[in-house]
Amino acid sequence: MKTLRMLGVAGTVVAGLVITACSGGDDDAAPPPTGVAVPVPESAGSSSAAFFSFLTGLSLGDETSEPYLVPDSFAVPADESDDVKKLG
Amino acid sequence: MKNCPYSVHSVGRAVAVLSLGLGAVLSTAPAAFASSHREAPFIAGQAQVDATDLYMFRSYEAGRQDFVTILANYQPFQDPQGGPNFYMFNPNALYEIHIDNNGDGVEDITFQFRFKNTSKAATLKVGGKDVKIPLINSGVITGVNPLTLNVRETFSIDVLQGGRRGGKRTSITNSAGGSAEFDKPVDNIGDKVFGGTTGYAAYANQHIYNVAIPGCATPGRVFVGQRKESFYIAVGKTFDLINLNPLGPEVNGNNNDLEGKNVSTLAMEVPIACLTAGTETVIGAHTTASLRQGRVLDGSPPTGFNKVPRGGGAWTQVSRLGMPLVNELIIGLDDKDKFNSSKPVNDAANFADYVTNPVLPALIQTLFPAAVAPTNFPRTDLLTVFLKGIDGLNQPKGVVASEMLRLNTAILPTPADIQNPLGVAGKDNAGFPNGRRPADDVVDLSLRVAMGALCVLTGATDTLKVGCKPSDAPAGSLALTDGVRKSAANYGVTFPYLTTPLPGNFNPAPAAGTVYPAN
């Protein structure tokens, strides 16, 4: 039973944030990028629920933004006991 | 996109002089490993977005010399038998080819490829019930998107002028009919599916499209699909502490470890005039793949195709490839992911030490003490060839140091039957490092350059302006090799040049010593 629970726990870590942080300007002949890299909000790391909420709130159609910067201090919650959150 | 005048022969003399010198040194000396296959910790687990090789050359197909062909390979080490899903491109990724046509290290033109996979949910009536089949095809496949193809894979290509994210966006369209959506051929499932051993080639060729490129007066061509792996190398022995004789035979000294693999290719053929700007004839290219920054996995996915991941946020670059073998062999392990996420214009700030003080030559000297590493630091010769291009060959005016594959479009292509896989070193100016063709032996060439071949070539007066001299490179004239070589005859002579992928029914011979149970 404990094993099953642990497997379930592992399954709750359903969200991953790619922590690539790009920087640098775009072409000299191009219009300025509409997105400016900013840090991931600290609140996104306050709990697995907050992290899930942050991730599901990200735009599905963003073509112009730079990725969020992910500071070393940002700790992605890895809750070992939550159930998998349902997606709508 | 600009239609700009250019001079095909404007640098011919300078290149001819350079070629003689390079040929004398490099064709008798050595080079480097898998070009960019699984080269970084993160990308090693993301095969669908792992760029493996980038080729760029003036088309050598008859009648097409005024075009540039660009081939970007993804998804390494494909076993042909990899069904039932085989090797689709990632519909949640953005694949890009960037062109810098003014030498500033920043993209001026970007081609963006996006994919869409649609299940047809084909069923079979079993016991009176319609039940969905478990395969991506339900029978023999002929023609584009037949009913028997259960998963339709399509793609679109946008062109951005200016920055990759903020530039002006337009779409490439099919010259026949004007659609902006193109069908990708399914991978080579096997000979029976395609009606015989030549069936897949005929099927795939129906997916070569003549395309209208916005702002470009002349149509180009596009193909996206599976090909036989084009890179060649004795990669296993190389990673095994170079467990081969680097001064052995250059041809047939070892087997190509990638001979039984396939790869997925993005192929474009674009008029030269639509890639160049002003009087600058040198263009730089690199390919990248990006994923949405955030991803949520659905723990209870609904019925459907590829419903588990849901991505959102900015496109986040996770793969980058210009010159072959750079991230593989030059960038330190802890910075490989960083390199894949970086932009060329920032290379000098981010990665200069790896180029000016490279580890590879020191490793080679450790393994083979007779091959003494160059002593010139900083290694300006490597900075030149990887980040700037060689003066008089493929260096743009006012170049900003940035790693990318550079092609002087003013140099005429060499017909396939007389190409030299050592490229410029073999007196063939239309080959590597002036761009890269499928057969160019970038492994041997890279090894030789790493050990100082350019320092020997440039001579005491540094005619190539690489900042070193022959005495700096005691091993600079050694003919280093991994023992594997191909020629243009091993590839196609028409677009997309890379050959038909191995079929899934390919059934390799048993390994030596295999013992089977008695019947």
Task: Nearest by CB to B318, from A12, A20, A34: name it.
Answer: A20
Judge whether residue A73 has pLDDT over 90: no
Distance CA B63, CA B85 (A): 38
Confirm or reject contact between A69 and chain B (CB < 8 A). no
Give the pLDDT score at A23: 30
Give the C-alpha distances (Å, rounded to integers) separating B486 from B22, B156, B232, B265: 20, 33, 8, 19
pLDDT cut 90: percent of chain B above it: 87
Contact A55 B296 (CB under 8 A): yes
Q: What is the mean pLDDT of residues B58-64?
A: 98
Specify whether the CB–CB gap between B222 and B239 falls below 8 A.
no
Give the pLDDT score at B34: 63
pLDDT cut 70: percent of chain B above it: 93
| Structural Rg of chain B based on CA atoms | 23
Residue showing tokens 């890639």: B275
Give the pLDDT score at B267: 98
Q: What is the mean pLDDT of residues B490-497?
A: 98
pLDDT in tens, B355-387: 999 999 999 999 999 999 999 999 999 999 999
Distance from CA of B100 to the nearest CA of A (A): 9
Distance from CA of A76 to the nearest CA of B (A): 12
Residue showing tokens 């894949």: B340
Give the pLDDT score at B516: 86
Give the pLDDT score at B363: 94
Judge whether residue A7 has pLDDT over 50: no
pLDDT in tens, B62-102: 999 999 999 999 999 999 999 999 999 999 999 999 999 99
Residue among B514, B501, B507 nearest B223 (CA): B501
Distance CA B207, CA B406 (A): 28
| Structural Rg of chain A based on CA atoms | 17
How many secondary structure helices (H) and strands (E) does chain A include? 2, 1
Contact B106 A27 (CB under 8 A): yes
Say if residue A32 is preceded by a cis peptide, omega within 30 of 0.
Answer: no
Give the pLDDT score at A35: 63
Contact A27 B341 (CB under 8 A): no
Q: Which two three-digit tokens encode residue B324?
A: 């072959």
Contact B316 A31 (CB under 8 A): no
Judge whether residue B401 has pLDDT over 70: yes
Give the pLDDT score at A37: 85
Give the pLDDT score at B92: 94
Specify whether the CB–CB gap between B387 and B402 falls below 8 A.
yes
Specify whether the CB–CB gap between B229 and B15 falls below 8 A.
no
Contact B163 A57 (CB under 8 A): no
Give the C-alpha distances (Å, rounded to integers) separating B327 from B37, B321, B381, B492: 10, 8, 18, 28
Give the pLDDT score at B38: 87
Provide the 10 A C-beta neighbour count for residue B349.
Answer: 10
- The residue type found at B289 is A
Contacts of residue B337 in chain A, CB cutoff 8 Å? 20
Task: Nearest by CB to A59, from B166, B313, B342: name it.
Answer: B313
- Phi and psi at B379, nearest 5°, equal -75, 80
Judge whether residue B9 has pLDDT over 70: no
Give the pLDDT score at A76: 75
pLDDT in tens, A39-69: 999 899 888 889 999 999 998 888 888 999 9
Give the pLDDT score at A86: 81
Half-sphere exposure of B340 (CA within 13 A, CB side): 32
Task: Nearest by CB to A55, from B294, B300, B343: name it.
Answer: B294
Q: What is the mean pLDDT of residues B247-251?
A: 94
How many secondary structure helices (H) and strands (E) does chain B include? 9, 16
Give the C-alpha distances (Å, rounded to integers) separating B25 from B46, B403, B408, B480: 39, 24, 22, 11
Judge whether residue A36 has pLDDT over 50: yes
Judge whether residue A24 has pLDDT over 90: no
Residue among B234, B288, B282 nearest B410 (CA): B282
Q: What is the mean pLDDT of residues B438-448?
A: 97
Give the pLDDT score at A77: 73
Q: Which two three-digit tokens encode residue B235?
A: 């990669």
Provide the number of CB pairs (under 8 Å) joining chain A to chain B.
136
Judge whether residue A19 has pLDDT over 50: no
- The residue type found at B218 is T
Q: What is the mean pLDDT of residues B123-144?
A: 97
Q: Return all residues near B322 (Cβ < 8 A) that are at least 6 apart.
A: B54, B284, B285, B286, B287, B344, B403, B404, B405
Give the pLDDT score at B349: 96
Contact A31 B163 (CB under 8 A): yes
Among A14, A19, A20, A54, the strongest candidate for a mutation testing the B interface, having the largest count of B CBs within 10 A, is A20
Distance CA B266, CA B74 (A): 8
Contacts of residue A85 in chain B, CB cutoff 8 Å? 299
Residue showing tokens 């500033």: B104
Give the pLDDT score at A60: 83
Give the pLDDT score at B37: 85
pLDDT in tens, B11-38: 333 334 344 344 444 444 333 456 788 8
Contact A20 B293 (CB under 8 A): yes
pLDDT in tens, B419-428: 999 999 999 9
Distance CA B403, CA B78 (A): 27
Contact B162 A26 (CB under 8 A): yes
Specify whether the CB–CB gap between B330 and B379 falls below 8 A.
no
Confirm or reject contact between A88 and chain B (CB < 8 A). no
Q: What is the mean pLDDT of residues B135-139?
A: 97
Burial string for A35-62 (b: 16+ CB within 10 Å, else e) reads: beeeebeeebbeebeebbebbeebeeeb
Residue among B339, B305, B307 nearest B322 (CA): B339
Give the pLDDT score at B283: 98
Q: Which helix (H) or strand (E) holds B362?
A: helix B360-367
Residue among B351, B340, B338, B345 nearest B379 (CA): B351
Judge whether residue B4 has pLDDT over 70: no
Give the pLDDT score at A82: 77
Judge whether residue A26 has pLDDT over 70: no
